[in-house]
Amino acid sequence: MVSTSNVFSSYSVNDLDAAQSFYGDVVGLEVDRTPMGLDLHLESGGHVFLYPKKAHVAASYTVLNFGVDDVEAAVDELVGKGVQFERYVGFDQDAKGISRSPDGPAIAWFKDPARNVLAILSNP
């Protein structure tokens, strides 16, 4: 049987140094460098592994979601650190790039240095 005691997600990046700086200094995660890549420690106790890939192709979908109590404050904080938020066709987004739908959480998308899509969204 498959064990679920150590489940984690992983995705590729094209520059470990840039990813370590971004996830550690900008996003504020604890980041450990390992011989094989980066281990991002999440406050929930989980972790995400980032590995280098020479032929990296950025994910065109959201690979990591950050649930927060105040989406607008989180967006403002990241913008203050130089993060640019994405705009997507079909989503009604405000001036800050936040989409507020009656059918779902407030959400705003941004990209890491490897162009993988990340999101800030309101906690349920």
For 27-95, the DSSP string reads: S--EEEEETTEEEEEPTTS-EEEEEE-TT----SSEEEEEEES-HHHHHHHHHHTT--B---TT--B-T
Across the range 41-46, mean pLDDT stands at 91
108 within 8 A of 98, measured Cβ to Cβ: yes
Backbone φ and ψ for 99, nearest 5 degrees, come out as -100, 125
Q: CA 15 to CA 116: how far, in whole Å?
A: 12
Q: Tell whether 1 is covered by a domain.
A: no
State the pLDDT confidence band at 62, using cuts at 50, 70 and 90: very high
Q: Tell whether 33 is covered by a domain.
A: yes
Instruction: Give the residues across from 38 on adjacent strands.
Output: 33, 50
Residue 68 has a pLDDT of 95
Residue 101 has a pLDDT of 84
Q: Tell whether 5 is covered by a domain.
A: no
Residue 2 has a pLDDT of 73
Q: Tell whether 82 is covered by a domain.
A: yes
pLDDT at residue 35 greater than cutoff 70: yes
State the pLDDT confidence band at 16, using cuts at 50, 70 and 90: very high
Residue 8 has a pLDDT of 87
Residue 76 has a pLDDT of 97
Question: Is pTM beyond 0.75 here?
Answer: yes
Q: Which residue has the higher pLDDT, 90 or 51?
A: 51
The domain tally of the chain equals: 1
Residue 1 has a pLDDT of 66
Residue 86 has a pLDDT of 96
Q: CA 58 to CA 20: how far, in whole Å?
A: 17
Length of the chain: 124
Across the range 26-30, mean pLDDT stands at 96
Q: CA 32 to CA 39: how far, in whole Å?
A: 5
Q: Tell whether 38 is covered by a domain.
A: yes
Q: Tell whether 34 is covered by a domain.
A: yes
Pairing of β 62-68 and β 9-13: unpaired
Across the range 1-14, mean pLDDT stands at 84
Q: What is the CATH number of the domain that holds 110?
A: 3.10.180.10
Q: Domain containing 74: what range?
A: 10-122
